[in-house]
Amino acid sequence: MANKILSGAVGVSVLLAVAGPAFSQSAPTLGLYGTTGLIDMPSAESQPDAQVTGTFAYNGSGTKITLGFQLTNRLSAAFRFAELSGWTINGEKEDRNFDVQFRLLDETDIRPAIAVGLRDFTGNGAYGAEYIVATKGFGKNFKVTAGLGWGRLSNSNTVRTGANPQGGVPTARQWFTGPVSPFGGVEWMTPVKGLTFKAEYASDKYTREVAAGAFDHKSPLNFGVEYRTKRGLNYGLYYLNGSEVALRFSTAINPKRPPMGGTLERAPLPVVARPLRHSASTAWLNTPGFTKTTRKTLSALLKDQGLAVEALALEGTRAELRLRNNTYNASAQAIGRAARAMAIALPHSVETFVVTPVVDGLPAASVVLRRSDIEALEQKADGTEQMLARAQFVSARPMAPGAEYAEGLYPKLRWSITPYVSLSLFDGSGPLRASAGLRASADYYITSGLSLSGSVTQRVFGNQNKETPPPSGLPRVRTDRALYKDQGKTAVERLTMDYLFKPAPDLFGRVSVGMIEPMFGGISGELLWKPSGSRWGLGAELNYVKQRDFDQLFGFQNYSVATGHVSAYWQVNDGLNAQLDVGRYLAGDWGATLSMDRVFANGWKIGAYATLTDASYAAYGKGSFTKGFRLSIPLAWGIGTPNRKSYNIDMNTLARDGGARLNVDNRLYDLVAEYQRPGLETGWARFWK
């Protein structure tokens, strides 16, 4: 048990150690379930918007490791890995839970906050419950919570079971049915800063645990003391059920609160306004070498800003800059800095600036700006909003004849050797497994849109190769991952030839051939229709791949499959993206994946997804279908300097063979959407930064 507790604590630490804790002294407290609440009982409060919390809790009934997400101001969700001690659920000593809570009403001077929630609503029923709860503050230091609970919170001996013995299926038929009981408690934030006392009447009788002899339930009253440090780490010590002691540790990060207080970056160039009576002459067009000299000047200015010129087309009153952004997560910031440089370097007659970001040789979209607007609006209080209103967002067109391309762009070799960490979170072998080593990566850009890319990994240490392979009624397209880790100590992780192209103004294309991912190689083709100003997009992908040998070198196994999807993309608003993929998966099953991602201007992404296919629950195995959470944490947010690299964490609770999709590095929507109008609007506040 000690080793399990330690690994759980390490798992929480790994996920949240990228930054300092983000709890403030006024943030609502968390309970043993890792969600906002008293001790065992929930409350109606919400964490600060976008907060990501991690909690490790232990008592006589087992260990709970919970990751919580404040997805919107009112909606929160949590994923929990529970190791059961002294009792089982359907013969298992581990369980995985999903919780959701929605705050219906805000607290006012006379009304409490009111929320409704589901606890463990897709599990085996180990902690399944529903509740309606109200919380009211009295002064700054005292809160009262009262609610009604169903399921485990019904104060009855009724034992619910999940909708499927393998778990993972929503238990909707049982929600808010059967016995119901009240619960409640109080919370006192003492004059000692950070010290809080709690007491509650809990409506959970722990029927299963008591029947199994895990502990005695002598009283419904629970008591606790918590201490929150100046750094925001939160510790709790509790006396539960009149018979046992419980411990809790929580920490948090918040995408809106960088640990460094922001990014330290080079100041933007000043906007150099033209004289009031400047010359509009275009005689410079007849000067030999003028365009080349101008491009060199512009290149030098942009290089100092962490940007690069791909090409420049100059006309008498119009200029188009093909731009590479290798620095800024906020794409609008790159556009704004490029416009400032153009205002310095270009002749006075040029009034129209066209900035076209280029990603791996693919022109994503064009932003059309008036030079006079840039000159007039920089210092205006509402200059950011006015600039957005006056900018035009159009599809990228072919460059004008006579465009000057930057020298030395192609062919070009870039390579790196960096450490890597690979995590398996909350799978069937425990809460955390990890491997670490070195990764050598290289990209050889042959010409615009055509490249050869690859990476080789050398595992130094780790325990991912010791995972227990789960049973499967489908072709083993993912559940043999431990064999890949074990035999692929030195592995060709990826080696592909990629061609990106633009057959029409609003149409993008990709063809990839080679070792596409660690487990599969073959050919992948994709088309994406995505108008620059639209929040909608449609895509289609078709792949024919073969399973690679476990050593991840250049051999293949006998299994091959044709797989592909039709995809619909929708940017719901400036911070929320939805995606629906329908098609055939790697194990030959047909189905659909729905995903939702919250996107922040600084590069953070927090999302959830679920996949349902025609594979039966029995064939799929434990978990019944694919679902999970994912995080993308920008490196710049943690280190405080501009950088476009991110660390991605996919919390697929049980990575099974059903609903498994091919992992392709450069899918088109991810490449181009951030530079089109809906994507740029998300971070437009940084246009002048």
**For the segment 122-131, what is each residue's pLDDT rounded down to a tens digit?**
767 789 899 9
Tell me the pLDDT band of 499, cut-offs 50, 70 and 90: very high
Under DSSP, is residue 627 helix (H, G, I), strand (E, B) or coil? strand
Under DSSP, is residue 582 helix (H, G, I), strand (E, B) or coil? strand
Domains annotated for the chain, with CATH where assigned, are 2-253 (2.40.160.40), 285-404 (3.30.300), 412-447+449-679 (2.40.160)
Token readout for 407 is 């020298």
Under DSSP, is residue 340 helix (H, G, I), strand (E, B) or coil? helix
Mean pLDDT of all residues in 12-35: 68
**Residue 13 pLDDT:** 46
Mean pLDDT of all residues in 393-413: 88
**Residue 17 pLDDT:** 47
Query: Measuring CA to CA, which residue among 296, 295, 288 is closest to residue 319?
Result: 295
Least confident of 247-256, 263-272, 555-564: 263-272
Q: Contact at 8 Å (CB) between 53 and 34?
A: yes
CA distance 233 to 228: 6
**Residue 406 pLDDT:** 86
* Residue of higher predicted confidence among 517 and 5: 517
pTM of the model: 0.88
The two beta strands, 605-613 and 626-634, are: antiparallel
Model confidence pLDDT, tens digit, residues 622-675? 666 788 888 888 888 888 888 888 888 877 656 789 999 999 999 999 999 999
Mean pLDDT of the chain: 89
b or e along 238-269 (b: 16 or more beta carbons within 10 Å of the residue's beta carbon)? Answer: bbbbeebebebbbbbbbbebbbeeebebeebb
For the chain, what percent of residues have pLDDT higher than 70? 91
CA distance 99 to 103: 14
Distance of CA 181 to the CA centre of its chain: 38
Q: Which residue has the tokens 């581990």?
A: 94
Tell me the pLDDT band of 389, cut-offs 50, 70 and 90: very high
Token readout for 413 is 């070799």
Contact residues for 250 (Cβ-Cβ < 8 A; gap 6+): 23, 30, 34, 53, 54, 55, 56, 233, 234, 236
Model confidence pLDDT, tens digit, residues 56-104? 999 988 999 999 999 889 999 998 888 888 888 877 888 888 899 999 9
Least confident of 272-281, 516-525, 671-680: 272-281
CA distance 549 to 557: 6
Q: Which residue has the tokens 């440090």?
A: 229
**Residue 164 pLDDT:** 57
Burial of 341 (0-12, 13-18, 19+ CB in 10 A): buried
Model confidence pLDDT, tens digit, residues 436-459? 999 999 999 999 999 999 999 999
b or e along 456-479 (b: 16 or more beta carbons within 10 Å of the residue's beta carbon)? Answer: bbebeebbbbebeebebebbbbbb
Token readout for 443 is 């990209």
Q: Contact at 8 Å (CB) between 610 and 626?
A: yes
Tell me the pLDDT band of 431, cut-offs 50, 70 and 90: low
Q: Which of 259-263, 338-342, 630-634 has the highest mean pLDDT?
A: 338-342
Mean pLDDT of all residues in 122-146: 91
CA distance 27 to 306: 38
pLDDT of residue 353 exceeding 80, the answer is: yes
Q: Contact at 8 Å (CB) between 171 and 139?
A: no
